[in-house]
Every structure is written in C-alpha cells, then in structure tokens.
Amino acid sequence: MNYKIWLSAALMLGAGAAQAAGVGTTGASFLKVGVGARELALGSAASSLTEGAGAIAWNPARLAALKQRNLSASYNMLFIDQSQGFLGYAAPLGEDMGVLGAGVNYLTVSDIEKRTDDTDSPLSKFSNNNTAVSFSYARAEVMPGLAAGASLKYIEQKLDTQSDRALALDLGSSYALSKDWTAAFVVQNLGGKIGPDKLPLTFKGGASTRFFGGKLAAAADLDWLANDELMYLDLGAEYAFNKLLDFRAGYQVGRSRDELGGLAGFAAGLGLKFDSFAFDYAYVPFGDLGDTHRMTLGFTF
C-alpha cells in the first residue's frame, strides 16, 4: 500500500507539472549536462544509485542515506574552450533530523569572438558563464522505506553583457522496494523562465537492483525533457571487482536522434576507493563533437 501511495504521488506531480510546462526552447541548457563521473559512467541511470553529495545534482532524496559528512568535487573536460565543474557538500543533522546539502554547478565557454561585421580579426572576446547554486534537504523514512528530498536552485547565465537569473526546484524520492530493489522519481528544474526561455524541466524515474551478494548493480532510468520533447532510456551497470575497484558502463537509448554519430550514448568508467577518499572517472563520447572525460574526487569524514 505504501508503494502504491508513493507511485501515485509521483505520477500526479509529474503529470501536473508537465501540463503546465508546454513545449518550446529552453534556457540554462547547461543544467542538462550531467555532473559526477560515477553517474555519467552509468549512462545517467543514476536516480536510484547516486550517492554522497553528488546526489544534489541527480536526486536530492538520495542524500538521506548519508551517515557521515561528504565532500564531492567534479571536473568535466568538455570541448574546446568549455569547462564544467561541480562542488557539493552534505552533512547529516543528527538522528532522524535529515541531511542538509549545498552545491555549485558551473559551465564556462571562454574566448568567444565578437564581430559586428565580416572581418578577419574579432573586435574582442567574451565568455558565456553559467552557474547554479543549490541548497538541499533530505529525510529518510518519510514513510516506511521512502526517502524524500528537495533542492532550491538559484540559476544565473551570463553572455557578454546580457545576464539572466531564475529560481527552480528539484523534488526527489527514493523507495526501497525490497532488500535488493530500489525505485526513484525526480522532477528537476521546476520553475518559470530564465530570460525569454523556459527552464529545462526534466522528469526522471527508474529502478535498480543488485546481484551476486551486492557485487553487481544494474539500473534503468527514463528521462523526459518536457520542454524539449525528448526522451531517453538510460541503462547502466556497476561491478565491484573488490573493495578498492569498481567497473562501470552505460548507454543512453535515444541519442541517435541527436545525430552525433560515433559512440554517442555510450559511457564507461571506473572507481577507486582509499579509506575515506574516492576517485571516479568516466569516458563519455559525443560522436562528431568529440570525446569527454569526467573526474570526481570524494571525501567522507
């Protein structure tokens, strides 16, 4: 019965927000570029598997599982003159009081040439700076087996002299269906507009399970980008080779519509753990655009 209540609430929330969203172009597109090497190596099938402070960017409800403070820093080597990073921190407030988190996600495109007419030399150069600052709260056992969380985001994008700002809300849930099965549902970027464009409203839901005594995790997510009229199926798996080393791979079904060619949609990576430290790496190709390399450092204390 509790599972039916959770699922009904998630579907009602998703349907209501989608109806209000409509279809059109979106602003703050950098919010659609995922952060966190582990999650991206899983093909973005991360709504029920994301952990630590990185959950701020994927599903704030997953913060509720934290028992210690966690610091996470990610850097994405994107294309020419593009860089992206994420810094997150989360800490339990105490027994049965929930978990607080804060994160900063940024993407910068530098050295954009400015021209007013057809000339060989640019008049000057400028940058495109995008930032989202999130404040999150999550709590476990809202109902038996159900964790819920929310993030309030302040979003700013600057292009040369133009600057736009917006507020948005992420809502997340995570439900333990059994010892080995977990389901999740997330609404991201729920809000109005940034400048003349709508925010990239996204609905993400899925489930994961574990095999072989927990050594192998498999997950599947369905992503619906409501204002872009796009849908992706994310598939991912993670194998714990030993206590120090994890291998990961994933694939996003539907990337063929982006017409990027090559291995677009595929992802792979690994994770290393040393006591309180963790290092994750992901290789994410984008076909004709090139290959990207994502790295995340984590520290638990």
Whole-number pLDDT of residue 9: 43
Q: Which H or E element spans position 270?
A: strand 266-274
For position 164, which CATH number holds? Answer: 2.40.160.60
Q: How many domains does the chain have?
A: 1
Tens of pLDDT, residue by residue over 252-274, are 998 766 656 667 789 999 999 99
Q: What is the largest CA-CA distance in the chain?
A: 68
Q: Which of 48, 53, 99, 90 is nearest to 74 (CA)?
A: 53
Collapsing DSSP states into helix, strand and coil, what is residue 126? Answer: strand
Whole-number pLDDT of residue 111: 62
Regions in the chain scoring below 50 on pLDDT: 1-23
Whole-number pLDDT of residue 83: 83
Tell me the C-alpha to C-alpha distance, in Å, between residue 301 and each of 52, 60, 214, 271, 298.
Answer: 12, 20, 24, 19, 10
Helix/strand/coil percentages in the chain, nearest 5: 20, 55, 25
| Domain with 47 in it | 2-300
Collapsing DSSP states into helix, strand and coil, what is residue 2? Answer: helix
Can you tell me the distance from the alpha carbon of 92 to that of 236, in angstroms, rounded to the nearest whole number?
Answer: 28
Backbone angles phi and psi of 42, in degrees to 5 = -85, 15
Q: Which of 31, 53, 35, 44 is nearest to 189 (CA)?
A: 31
Q: 101 has which bridge partners? A: 90, 136
Collapsing DSSP states into helix, strand and coil, what is residue 293? Answer: strand
Q: What is the mean pLDDT of the chain?
A: 87
Whole-number pLDDT of residue 168: 97
Whole-number pLDDT of residue 259: 54
Tens of pLDDT, residue by residue over 51-78, are 999 999 999 999 999 999 999 999 987 7
